[in-house]
Structure 1
Amino acid sequence: MSTTPAARPRPIEIVPSVLPADFARLGDECAALETAGVDRIQWDVMDGVFVPNLTFGPDVIAACRPHAKVMFEAHLMVVDPDPMLGAYVDAGCEMLIVHAESVTHLHRSLNRVAELGAKPAVAINPSTPIDAVSHVLDLVDMVLVMTVNPGFGGQAYIATMEPKIAALRQLIDQSGSAGASGSGIDIEVDGGISADTIGGAAAAGANVLVSGSALYRYADGLAHGVADLRCRAEAASRA
């Protein structure tokens, strides 16, 4: 039996997707999310090819950057993200998430993100096994496990991803990798995260939790939603 101590849980972070926001006033929406206490803001960048939707170019994100100091992450759901990495860093995104399924040379793409001065992260779709990222853990600060098939907001959470999250957490802990920045590797989940589902994802080992539609539906406002989701996730991660 291994005597290696269990890894210390990573801090819980609540991250909104801006897909449900009012696109006519995105700058104000970013400011409101920061005031509500979010840990960072995710930009779902879609190209209409890798996923069936079109969303944010770097100019839109750059226009919103002065409205909030909180970290921006770009989730690049695009075919061949390499040529656009620099544009999203220049737009103010401090973390870039590339999909393992969309790049030809994953090591090269992640190294390029780091060279540009951003935090590298990798995402995997629901059907993609964790083996796809097992050999790049030293190059990333975060792995995103999709809990819906990417492309649209408001989809139902795929609960069968929880064993996959747990297996990834175990893989990360056993690897001993401190990630690209040396401060450890986060697991993010994105898709269907709500008051009803966040506990399962956090209990499985995810600590960065993306919520879009559910967060915006809180009747008492964004701040109440952020606090409630954080409380539920922290309780589940300690259980």
Structure 2
Amino acid sequence: MKKILCPSMMCADFDNLKKEVELLDEAGADMFHCDIMDGVFVPNMALSPYDVECIKRNTKKPVDVHLMVSNVEIVCDIYIDLNIDIIYIHPESSFHISKTLLRIKEAGIAPGIAISPDVSIETVKELLPLVDYIMIMTVNPGFSGQVYLQYVNDKIDRIIKIRKDYGFKIMLDGAISDKIIQTLTQKGVDGFVLGTSALFREDKDYETVLAKYRKL
């Protein structure tokens, strides 16, 4: 199984966003991950539709968005109109989350849910037939550079076990390291979001780093 390696574009050099996309594309990135934050749902703000449009315009690889916003029903339409490949939403961001997931799917976009460390599987189980992707957060959403939360590993194991009943892909986001990629790929995780701790370094040798992770 080929693992899906997704650079987290909130960690990129925004003085040279187009060049960053080109470098990552040539280095073998599988997908571009875009965090959208409104300063309300999480205490940070990141990536505008214009940033995402720039990323999408400069690659033929899939682009996903992770909506960390309070008015997800409204914001979602912006990224549907941009024809994004995958849209992740947080189940706790709306009282009618299933309606939003169905709207994403009807638009021909892969729907996904992002599960924060404090959200249990039991609270989202009814949504699982509606999604193509689950992104498990291994840090609290909102900021890069955090520490991996080991207690989330039990949740990861449980989601891997029930995946066969639904067919979704499992992605991991938050403080990803070599060891985590190696261990959790073997367990059955499909892909990883790579941020400051895994990919974005001063030397920008993205090809070497991605090739290393590919072999793990």
For the criterion TM > 0.5, the same-fold answer is yes
Matches within 5 A, 1:28-107: 28-107=19-98
**Matched letter for residue 168 of structure 2:** I
Matched residue SS, 1:216 = coil
Cα drift, residue 116 of structure 1: 2.0
**Matched letter for residue 123 of structure 2:** A
Is 1:216–2:200 an aligned residue pair? Answer: yes
Cα drift, residue 151 of structure 1: 0.5
C-alpha change, 1:106 and 1:231, in structure 2 (3 Å) is same
Higher helix fraction (1 or 2): 2
Cα drift, residue 93 of structure 1: 1.5
Is 1:154–2:137 an aligned residue pair? Answer: no
Q: Name 1:124's counterpart in structure 2.
A: 115
Cα drift, residue 60 of structure 1: 2.0
Q: Which 5+ residue runs of structure 2 have no aligned equivalent?
A: none
Is 1:228–2:205 an aligned residue pair? Answer: no
Q: Give the TM-score, by structure 1 length.
A: 0.84
Cα drift, residue 218 of structure 1: 7.8
**Distance in 1 separating the partners of 2:97 and 2:2:** 27
Q: Name 1:6's counterpart in structure 2.
A: none
CA deviation string 1:80-106 (max 9, x = no partner): 211121211222411100011212112
Cα drift, residue 229 of structure 1: 1.6
C-alpha change, 1:172 and 1:158, in structure 2 (3 Å) is same
Cα drift, residue 129 of structure 1: 0.7
Contact 2:83 2:109 in 1 (8 A): no
For 2:171, which of 165, 183, 188 is the aligned residue? 188
Cα drift, residue 23 of structure 1: 0.9
Contact 2:18 2:58 in 1 (8 A): yes
Contact 1:218 1:224 in 2 (8 A): no
CA deviation string 1:39-87 (max 9, x = no partner): 1000011111111111112122113322111000000011121112121
**Distance in 1 separating the partners of 2:17 and 2:204:** 21
**Distance in 2 separating the partners of 1:108 and 1:134:** 15
Q: Give the TM-score, by structure 2 length.
A: 0.93
Matched residue SS, 2:45 = coil
Q: Name 2:181's counterpart in structure 1.
A: 198
Quote the RMSD (CA, aligned, Å): 1.6
**Matched letter for residue 14 of structure 1:** L
C-alpha change, 1:92 and 1:28, in structure 2 (3 Å) is farther
Contact 2:63 2:84 in 1 (8 A): yes
Instruction: Name the count of aligned residue pairs.
Output: 215
**Matched letter for residue 3 of structure 2:** I
**Matched letter for residue 201 of structure 1:** L
**Distance in 2 separating the partners of 1:188 and 1:132:** 19
Q: Which 5+ residue runs of structure 1 have no aligned equivalent?
A: 1-9, 178-183, 233-239
**Distance in 1 separating the partners of 2:184 and 2:39:** 28
**Distance in 2 separating the partners of 1:29 and 1:225:** 15
| Runs of 4+ off more than 3 Å | none
Contact 1:218 1:225 in 2 (8 A): no
Aligned sequence identity (%): 34
